[in-house]
Amino acid sequence: MKKFLSLLMALTIMASLTACGGSKQETAAPSGETTAPSGVEDGVLTVAMECAYAPYNWSQPDDSNGAVAIKDSNEYANGYDVMMAQKLCEANGWTLEVVRLDWDSLIPAVQSGTVDAVIAGQSMTAERAEQVDFAGPYLYASIICLTKQGSAFAGAKGISDLSGGSCTSQLGTIWYDTCLPQIEGAKVQTAAESAPAMLMALETGAVDFVCTDMPTAQGALVAYPDFQLLDFSDTDDNFQVSDEDVNIGISVMKGNTTLKDALDAVLSAMTAEDFNDLMAKAVAVQPIGG
């Protein structure tokens, strides 16, 4: 009898706890989905970028031209991504904090909640969209190539004219994974670890040409006046890419609809011309070393 009464009391207590919300399932959203914290409850938007990818982002020794201090560093970040992040923060009343990370560490950082967002010139690809949610686009970037003035490929009129040339691009980008394989007969070299490394490979003659996007090329022409831009966008002999390849977005944690919606509210009011004007400002103040 005592055992029966003890069991009955235990069942009563469990039922009471469930009714009072003691069960995690009962506190979940009706749909069964959980909502990620926005990350900006403290009024600070923590953004990750390479700080080495001009004109999207770069590092510099002072706060000239509106540069923002890089966390845990005596350097400052500037560039298109920083300028856009500042606009987003101003519109939402947040303070901007910039964290410098390697390219391959960007998505893991936003997935783990180490940072609130990645604003780093990332294409809004389906593969990335499986790992993070995207706000944006915040830029539309066409795909082009760069070669040296006077090179055997300087007169190329389409990607077929690049056949036989050695080339590279940045690791983990659609430029390397999607575009370079479309050039029949191209001698694709090992991917460069970063955009500056990619450009240095061209400058030193390690490759005949590189594939990148228009903003990166515009910045490169400032730093390397001996480069020549190859734009095949008005021809039929061009790279075949989808909108997801040229739409540049902002990564946030999966399910972080609060932050995504706040960012999209600002970006949706901007036009392609607004984006291009802001990029022109970034290119104009880019340090020669990029």
Judged against a pLDDT cut of 90, whether residue 24 lies above it is answered with: no
Judged against a pLDDT cut of 50, whether residue 28 lies above it is answered with: no
Alpha carbons 131 and 4: distance in angstroms, whole number: 51
Region 186-208: what's the mean pLDDT?
97
Region 131-154: what's the mean pLDDT?
97
Of residues 235, 213, 232, 216, the one with CA closest to residue 224 = 216
Claim to verify: residue 168 and residue 193 sit in the same structural domain:
yes
Q: Which domain holds residue 201?
A: 143-232
Claim to verify: residue 70 and residue 207 sit in the same structural domain:
no
Alpha carbons 200 and 224: distance in angstroms, whole number: 9
159 pLDDT band (50/70/90 cuts)?
very high
Tell me what pLDDT residue 245 has: 85
Claim to verify: residue 114 and residue 50 sit in the same structural domain:
yes
Contacts of residue 173, Cβ cutoff 8 Å, sequence gap at least 6: 123
Region 28-36: what's the mean pLDDT?
50
Residue 199 counted as domain residue: yes
Q: Across-strand partners of 134?
A: 251
- Comparing 6 with 122, which gets the higher pLDDT? 122
How many H helices and E strands in the chain?
A: 11, 14
Region 22-31: what's the mean pLDDT?
35
Residue 39 counted as domain residue: no
Claim to verify: residue 68 and residue 209 sit in the same structural domain:
no
Give the β-pairing of 166-168 and 143-148.
unpaired
Query: How large is the C-alpha radius of gyration of the chain?
Result: 24
13 pLDDT band (50/70/90 cuts)?
very low
Region 220-242: what's the mean pLDDT?
95
Of residues 33, 35, 70, the one with CA closest to residue 50 = 70
Residue 122 counted as domain residue: yes
Claim to verify: residue 157 and residue 227 sit in the same structural domain:
yes
CATH number of the structural domain spanning residue 208: 3.40.190.10
Residue 188 counted as domain residue: yes
Considering its fold, how many domains does the chain have in total? 2
Claim to verify: residue 199 and residue 262 sit in the same structural domain:
no
Residue 249: CB atoms within 10 A of its CB come to 25
Tell me what pLDDT residue 37 has: 83
Judged against a pLDDT cut of 60, whether residue 33 lies above it is answered with: no
Tell me what pLDDT residue 19 has: 35
Judged against a pLDDT cut of 60, whether residue 151 lies above it is answered with: yes
Claim to verify: residue 123 and residue 166 sit in the same structural domain:
no
Alpha carbons 54 and 217: distance in angstroms, whole number: 9
Look-up of token digits 């997801």:
244
Claim to verify: residue 127 and residue 152 sit in the same structural domain:
no
Judged against a pLDDT cut of 60, whether residue 289 lies above it is answered with: no
Tell me what pLDDT residue 12 has: 42
Judged against a pLDDT cut of 60, whether residue 279 lies above it is answered with: yes
Claim to verify: residue 158 and residue 228 sit in the same structural domain:
yes
10 pLDDT band (50/70/90 cuts)?
very low
How far is CA 205 from each of CA 148, 199, 227, rounded to the nearest angstrom?
A: 9, 10, 11
Alpha carbons 159 and 267: distance in angstroms, whole number: 33
Boundary of a domain, candidates 209, 232, 255: 232
Of residues 282, 272, 253, the one with CA closest to residue 132 = 253
Tell me what pLDDT residue 145 has: 98
Contact 240, 20 (CB under 8 A): no
Claim to verify: residue 57 and residue 114 sit in the same structural domain:
yes
Contact 119, 252 (CB under 8 A): no
Claim to verify: residue 48 and residue 113 sit in the same structural domain:
yes
Tell me what pLDDT residue 29 has: 41
Claim to verify: residue 81 and residue 225 sit in the same structural domain:
no
Residue 34 counted as domain residue: no
Residue 4 counted as domain residue: no
